[in-house]
Each structure stands twice: as C-alpha cells, then as structure tokens.
A and B are shown apart, each in its own frame.
Chain A
Amino acid sequence: MVPLVSMKAITKFFGPVKVLDQVDFTIYPGEVHILAGENGAGKSTLVKILAGAHTDYQGHIAMEGREIRPSSPLDANRHGIAAIHQELSLIPSMTVVDNLFLGHPVTRQGFIREKVHRRDAEDVLRKAGVNAAVTSLVEDLPISVQQLIEIAKAIHLNARVLIMDEPSSALNAHDVETLFALVKQLKSENRGVVYITHRLEEIYRLADRITVLRDGKLVGSALAPELPEKKLFQWMVGREMEEQFPRHTPQTSTEALRVEKFTVRPAGRALRPLVDRVSLSTGRGEILGIGGLQGSGASELFLGLFGALPKRTEGRVSIEGKLIRIRSPRDAVANGIALLTNDRKATGLISSMSVTANMCAANMSNLAPHGWRRPWEETRMASEMGRALQLRAASLEMEVSDLSGGNQQKVAIGKWLTTSPRVMLLDEPTRGIDVGAKHEVYQLMNEWTARGISILLVTSEMPELLAMSDRIIVMHRGIITAELARQEATAEKVLEAAMGKTNGGENAR
C-alpha cells in the first residue's frame, strides 16, 4: 500500500529539551492510525508538525511521495491535511455556515455568495451526519455538535488526512457513536485518520494501526490485532502495571456530609433543574463515587454544594451533623469543603502565578492572619506539600503553566490539601494526566480517606469509578437513578442507570 503521508526521522526541540527524537510515522489511506502514549510522550507535538503548527523541526515529510514542509496550518490545509484540536477553533459568535467558509469564501466581485454558502454548508453537514441548522450560532450549539462541525469543516476543505487530538473528550456516549460513524465514513472515502486518545475502549474500536511514543521516542508501530492490550500498556509505560487501582477501604462509621433535597437551577429560563432534589450522604473516610454521562448534573451538584452558584441552589447541607449555609466558595472553604474542578486550566489554577502562589491561594486567611503575608511561611508550606505530593518542578517559583499536566494537577490538589478539608469534591481528578500520575492520585486518595477525609468522586472513566468508590450513586439528567454498593457495582449497571434506566435506588423516581 502506498502511504499517504510518511514522516521520517522527525526531531524537535523545545529550547534545550528534545521532545521528539528520530520519530517515523506513516499514514495510509483508508486507515485509522491511533497515536498512543502517556502525556508528554510527544504525540501532540508530532501531529502539530504535520498540521503546520510547529515549523522548526528536523526530518522529512512526504505526501504521496512528494516532499512537503507545512509552514502554517493554512499551508497544511492546502496540502490536504486538517487538524481537529482538543481546543475548538470555531468562532462561537459566528454562524455555522460562516465558520465553514471562514478563510476561503465563495465570492462574486468580492461579495459573499450567501446562497451558495448555505447550500454547500447544508450539504456538508448532511454528509457528516450533523444535525444542526447552518444559520445557528456556534455558541448556541452543544459542545458535541461543535466538535462534529469542526470535523465537517475539515471534510469541507477536502482534507486527505484528518488529525483528531482527543476528539471525544467532551462528548457523551451517544455523540461518541456519531463521531465513530463519521470516522468510519472518512475511512471508506479512503482518507487517512490520525486519532489521539487516552481511552482504551476507543483504541480497540477504531484502530487499524497503532503507534506508541514514549518520552519523544518511537516505541513501536503495529497493526491493531497484533498489539493486545497488555502489550500496549507495556509499550506505553515501559513497565507492567500490576495493580492499576489500589483501593483500601477504611472503616466508616460517623457521617461526614449529608445533603438533602439539593436542587440547582439553570442560569437561564430553562425549566428543568440541572440537579433535582438530590439527597446523599457520606461517612468519614468514605469515597462516594458519582457516575453519569454528560449532562448528568454531577459537576453542577459539586459547584452548587461549593457555593459557586449562589441564588440558584436550594436544599439542606450538613457537615458532621451540623447544618451549614454555604453562599459562596469562601463559606465552603471555611466549612472544610474543597472542590477540585474538572478543568484545571480554566477554573483550577492561575497559570500566570508561581507554584507557591497557587498552592497558597485557597488558604490565605490562615497564611496571612491579619492580612499581611509571610512569604517564608508560604514557601515552607508549598515545599512541604510539594514533597508530600512528589511534585516534580524545577522550582517552586516557576509558573504553573510550565509544569506538565500531572504536576499541574498535583498543584491544584495541593492547594486544597493546605486547607485541611473534611470533604473533598473531586471532579475528574485524573483527567488529562498520564498513567503514572494517575496511580499517584489514587494512592493519595487512599491516604486522605485513611486520615478521615471523605471524598465525593465524579469521573467519566468507568474503571476508575468502579475501583476507587466505596459506594456509587449514578445520576441521569439531574436525578439519582441508582445507588450501588461497591460489591454489586458493575460497568453495565452503572451505564444502564446513567442512561436513565432506574433500578430501585433510594432516590429513584
């Protein structure tokens, strides 16, 4: 088979750091090529070179035998290469049709031919199986539809090679199916697809060929059937993961958090509450897992409990038997509640500030008792916390944006540990961090619960939910549809409840 694209001996430096070392990568037509590896392995850098986002690399790229050197994303588009990044590149305030034709409009004497645009756009969306009006604003569409429009845009460019960097991370189960159908269609049209993902089930559902990178080096490339799961893990981590999820259940007796009939209303005038009269409780040292698909309301439940959605919540919350009122995140912190948000860049960390400043951000009332800061205390606390979390940072004074994903997450976690919380609300604590760091986070969760901290865990990774939770509740569109003990919980039961099938949980309605 003649390769569509072949990248040979690609080497790339960021400053003095070699992030790619003599990597070969070949894309064949009509194939889905999965690029796998831990975070920081160099996957994104490699595809960014192909997509024209990084231009200072060594090595050669050939497209159907012809040497090319993509000098910009636009140049890559001209060569028939289009990338769909984790961060969407659509302009939210513009319509779908305007986004599709952005940069290459059909004009007559400089004026845009709206009718042609609209007809073509409808055509493209229909082909891609996207169910949206071309005249609607992108910002009014759900994130999943936006993601699909992004792909439709690449099809519209008539790209021969599509690069998808974790396209399913924001999608729910149903939309993932639409995405997969679209990927299959792209294959049948003899296009080449490069697909980066962290989700094992996606790898084996989609892959024709798998290439694994580790620390910027090519570990290997194989056809999917020749690379069983165990071997893939070995390639990715370079060691065997014996026990991926080490949960040690502590004895729980006293109640830590009790929530009764908790409701979160949406910001707009929509009728359906995001969280509808949810009641739950956790014991000291217990991990209560909350399962659910996108739109389950679990994240909103957390934000509501944390006081981040003032005037939109109702219900009774008590901690260790004492009824409390939380009207702002400050109240929550004062009551010993911590919230690790699901997006550390947008809502977790202040990336322009140092590791120390971030670690201290939630605990200033203790660190600066009369308002005056004591930098030496902050440094002491940050280095202590850094040691406890095994933070790998060149300096505590470096900006957190310069850390790797896993270490950023540790800073976000450390920020909350300094407040000595009684209840931790963890929303996707292992999102976007590598396998090694995940393992460390699980171990930390065990340590905290051993100290009596109780944890509410929201995660979209089923194995993580099943393995780490002592008890699981499942939410679907704002209500609890199941409550399962650790022993009885299975992936099927959780998924059924998450999709709305009630099987007699105590809150089921």
Chain B
Amino acid sequence: MLGEIREPLRRDAGAGSKAGARAGGMHGVLQSLARALTSTAGRACLGLVLVLFLGVIFNADGAFFKEGTHRDTLRQSSVYGILACGMTLVMLTGGIDLSVGGVLAVSSVSFSLLTMHMDWPWWLAIIACLFLGSALGSASGALISNAKLQPFIATLALMTFARGFAKYITGGQKISTYVTQGDKVIIKQLPTVFKVIDSRILGGNLAIVSVIFLVCFIAAWILLARHKWGRELYSIGGNEEAARLSGVPVRMAKFLAYTFSGLMCGVAGICQAAQETQGDPEAGAGYELTAIAMVAIGGTSLAGGRGSMGLTLLGILTIGYLQKILSINAVAEAYRLMITGIIIVLAVLTQKRRSR
C-alpha cells in the first residue's frame, strides 16, 4: 500500500526535506509531519481517522471494539469496493461511470438465472457474467472514445438501458431457487457456488467476497502503478491533447477503462447475487454514487489525472466505517443519509487542493 500512497507525497518531497534540514531536530520532524498531513494521502488518512474517532466515541457499548465489527465492515464494503476499483480507473481519465449499479444488476440476475434456472456449470456462468459486464462497459467505452459522447451522458444512458435489460431478462421478477415450471413451483437447491462465495475462510475471519475485492483491488493497483496502460490513463486525465500528441493511444485506453469498469460490475454482480442468494433486477440502485463518493473522498480528482488505488482504499474504508458506525448505533435511515451527505462534503472539502 505504501508504495502507491507515497506517489502524491513526492510532490512536496523536495521542498519538505529542504525545510526539514534547515529547521533540524524536533522542529523538522514536526514540519515534515505537517507536510505529510497536508498531502493528498495525508488528508485522505485524516478523513478515515476522523471517522474512526467517531466510532471510538459512539462505540455502541463497546460494539465498535469487537473484532467482528471490523470484519463485517470489510465484508459489507466489498461489493462497493469492487465497483470503486473500476471507477478509479475511469475517473483518472477525467470521466465518470454512472452505469455500474445497472450493469451490476444485469450480472447479478444473469448469474442467478444461469446457475439456478438453467443449471449451467458455475465456471461457465461466471465467465458469461464477466463477459456480459465487460461487453456492456465496452459499449459505453465505444460511445465515449469513438462517438465522443460525454461520459456522463453515455454512462447515464447505459445505466438506464442496463436496468431495463435486467428487468427484461427476468420479466421483472427476482430470480431465486423458487422456479416456476408450468403451473408447479419447485424449490431448487441453492447452487454450491452461492454458498462458497458467501462463506468465510481463516476461521470465519475473512469473507470470500472480501478476498475477491482484494484481488480486484490488487489487480487494478498493479495495472495502474506498473502497466503502461495505467500511465496512459493518468496522462489522458492530465492533458488529453498532450497525451494524444505524444502518441498515447487515447481512444483505446479510454475504451479499455470503461470495459474494465464493466468487468468489475460483472464481478460485483456475482458477489451481490451470492450474498442475497437471488438475482434482483433492482439490485445495485444508487451504488454508482457510493462508488464515486469512495473514489472522490480518497482524493482522486473528478477532473482526472491525479489519484491512485491507495487513495481509493482509504475512501472505501472511510465510507465503509461510516456506514458501519451509523448502523451499530442504530441511527435511523433518515439521519443516516443526511449524516453521510455531510461527511462526504467535509471529506472532499479537506481534499481540495489549495490553489498555488
């Protein structure tokens, strides 16, 4: 994690070490600390620390200090986290993907339909859903990179289309183990793959969905930090015209970013289906906003060009913990939403780059 988070820090590194050397001793340490805290990563950490501090105060009779609470936080953040991985790549290019909730629903109902009703083998169903997610993502990718539609509009259209598509393939019904055949309703057994994905390993400490999230996270991280494509995404977000004139394959890189986001929706949809033991065409409504909030709170700029997966992880944990703390304190939904909105504003305000 450190390697990636250090990146935004480097900006200040030169000036910081100089100032530190001049001041020397304790004062220097304090100065470097102050600099670390005012960097993008430092401020994202600050947001997380503040939320954790809230948890310590409102600990719901010690519930916050139980190991299980933290375990659950990670598990419950996992589906959002998977979406945020794809969202980070898209937002680094200066784009946005509003379709993630809708595509998640398509993947979720398709997975349920294929495994429960059509008895496909689990691996084939997974491949099909990942393919479907990527295909939908690539549709918005093509509209954005080739037809030059604005990302907001293209993914808004896909969001609507995908939600409709999910309802179309399910006939508006939830897909569960209750299968109607003619006049009879038979109850099928829940496919093993659902149980496996919803299970936990390491003595019940780590949910499989969290493992899946971590795998997606690390993959996205490595791609961003070490693959040529990651560098291309940063450069497109930083200055698309300069990137193009440097020979960066701008259209392909953007197309792939949305395709990757679609792939992540495919993964998240499978996890969602397993956790709900059904395929709900209404699943994932509003998830796009949570995913965007997680990425933005981490400090990845909506304008593109700046940010990293490390920052996104901080954002995921900040929102994840906030939700958990509100729920263990049994805060009513009305308040929960209002508080979440306020915290998002505060977190993003602390992230604002001071103009130089």
List residues of chain A with CB under 8 Å of any chain B CB.
Answer: 15-16, 306, 308, 328-330, 332-334, 339, 341, 346-354, 357, 360-362, 364-365, 367-368, 371-373, 375, 394-395, 397-399, 402, 415
Contact = CB atoms under 8 A, between A and B. Distances in A.
B239 A395 contact: no
Interface in B80-119: none
Given A15-B15, A347-B245, 5 more contacts: A308-B245, A333-B247, A346-B241, A350-B243, A371-B228
Nearest to A15: B15
Interface in B215-248: 226-232, 234-235, 237-239, 241-248
B235 A329 contact: no
Main secondary structure of the interface of B (DSSP, over half): helix
B238 A351 contact: yes
B241 A353 contact: no
Interface string B240-265: 01111111110000000000000000
A354 B242 CA distance: 14
A16 B35 CA distance: 14
B307 to A, nearest CB: 10
Given A350-B238, A350-B242, A368-B227, A398 B306 contact: no
A411 to B, nearest CB: 11
B34 interface: no
6 contacts: A308-B245, A361-B242, A368-B231, A395-B10, A397-B13, A415-B246
A373 B228 contact: yes
Contact of B235 (A350, A397, A402): A350
A353 B305 contact: yes
A350 B227 contact: no
B239 A351 contact: yes
B245 A350 contact: no
B233 to A, nearest CB: 11
Interface of B: 10-11, 13-15, 18-19, 226-232, 234-235, 237-239, 241-249, 305-306
Contact of A361 (B226, B229, B235, B306): B235
Contacts of A306: 245
A415 B18 CA distance: 28
Contacts of A394: 14-15, 18
Contacts of B234: 350, 352-353, 357
The prevalent SS among residues of A at the interface is mixed
A330 B247 contact: yes
A352 B238 contact: yes
B14 A362 contact: no
B355 to A, nearest CB: 12
A324 to B, nearest CB: 15
A270 to B, nearest CB: 21
A418 to B, nearest CB: 11
Contacts of A361: 231, 235, 242-243, 246, 248
Contact of A329 (B11, B231, B237, B245): B245
Contacts of B10: 354, 395, 397-398
A329 B246 contact: yes
A358 B227 CA distance: 16
B261 to A, nearest CB: 19
Contact of B247 (A329, A347, A348): A329
B15 A339 contact: no
A353 B245 CA distance: 16
A422 B234 CA distance: 28
A34 to B, nearest CB: 28
B228 A395 contact: no
B15 A332 contact: no
A373 B230 CA distance: 9
B224 to A, nearest CB: 10
Contacts of B238: 350-353
B294 to A, nearest CB: 21
A341 B239 CA distance: 14
B22 to A, nearest CB: 9
Nearest to A375: B226
Given A348-B242, A353-B305, A373-B226, A395 B13 contact: yes
Nearest to A415: B246
Contact of B242 (A349, A360, A372, A398): A349
A329 B248 CA distance: 8
A308 B11 CA distance: 32
A361 to B, nearest CB: 4
A484 B13 CA distance: 52
Nearest to B303: A352
A188 to B, nearest CB: 39
